[in-house]
Amino acid sequence: MDSMETLAGAEFAPEMTYLNTASSGLLPARTVAAMHTAVTRAAAGRPTDMFADVEASRASFARIAGVPVSRVAAGASVAVFTGLIATSLPEGAEVLVAEDDFSSVVNPFVVRADLKVRFAPLESLAEAVRPGTALVAVSAVQSADGRIADLDAIRAAARAHGARTLVDASQSAGWLPLDAAGDDYTVAVAFKWLTCPRGVAFLVVPEDLGGLTPVFAGWVAGEEPWNSCYGPVGELAHSARRFDESPSLFSYAGARRSLALIEEIGPAAVQRHDAALADRFRAGLDRIGQCVVAAPGSAIVAAPGLGHRRDELSRAGVELSDRAGNLRAAFHLYNSAADVDRLLDALSG
Cα–Cα dist 224/238, whole Å: 10
Backbone angles phi, psi at 192, to 5 degrees: -105, -105
Q: Are residues 135 and 280 in the same domain?
A: no
In a domain, 89, yes or no: yes
202 in the same domain as 96: yes
Q: Which sign does the torsion angle of CA 34, 39, 40, 41 carry?
A: positive
200, 129: one domain: yes
Q: How far is CA 26 from CA 170, 175, 197, in A?
A: 15, 14, 9
Q: Other CB atoms closer than 10 Å to residue 101's CB: what's the count?
A: 21
**Same domain, yes or no: 112 and 156:** yes
Position 144 in a domain: yes
Q: Are residues 96 and 194 in the same domain?
A: yes
Q: How many domains does the chain have?
A: 2
Report if residue 239 sits inside a domain: yes
Q: What is the pLDDT of residue 47?
A: 87
Of the three residues 200, 234, 264, the one that is the final residue of a domain is 264
Whether 242 maps to a domain, the answer reads yes
- The pTM for the full model equals 0.96
Residue 133, domain extent:
41-264
Q: Is residue 237 part of a domain?
A: yes
Provide block-wise average pLDDT over 10 residues at a time, the chain (349 residues). Answer: 75 95 98 97 93 97 98 97 97 98 98 97 98 98 98 98 98 96 97 98 95 94 95 96 96 98 95 98 96 97 95 96 95 96 93
Residue 1: predicted pLDDT:
53
The CATH number of whichever domain residue 95 belongs to comes to 3.40.640.10
Of the residues 264, 298, 317, which one is the last residue of a structural domain? 264
Residues 105 and 224 in one domain: yes
Please identify, among 205, 229, 264, the residue that sits at the C-terminal boundary of a domain. 264
In a domain, 327, yes or no: yes
DSSP β-bridge partners for residue 203: 73, 187
CATH of the domain at 302: 3.90.1150.10
Tell me, yes or no, whether 36 lies in a domain: no
Same domain, 8 and 45: no
Does 33 reside within a domain?
no
End-to-end Cα separation, the chain, in angstroms:
30
100 and 19 inside one domain = no
Same domain, residue pair 163 and 82:
yes
Shared domain check, 194 and 167: yes
Same domain, 18 and 145: no
Same domain flag for 114 and 186: yes
Query: HEC string of the chain?
Result: CCHHHHHHHHHCCCCCEECECCCCCCCCHHHHHHHHHHHHHHHCCCCCCHHHHHHHHHHHHHHHHCCCHHHEEEECCHHHHHHHHHHHCCCCCEEEEECCCCHHHCHHHHCCCCCEEEEECHHHHHHHCCCCEEEEEEECECCCCCCECCHHHHHHHHHHCCCEEEEECCCCCCCCCCCHHHCCEEEEECCCCCCCCCCCEEEECCCCHHHCCCCCCCHHHECCHHHCCCCCCCCECCCHHHHCCCCCHHHHHHHHHHHHHHHHHCHHHHHHHHHHHHHHHHHHHHHCCCCCCCCCCCCEEEEECCHHHHHHHHHCCEECEEECCEEEEECCCCCCHHHHHHHHHHHHC
Given a contact cutoff of 8 angstroms between Cβ atoms, the answer to whether 236 and 221 are in contact is yes
Distance in angstroms (rounded) separating the CA atoms of residues 162 and 209: 17
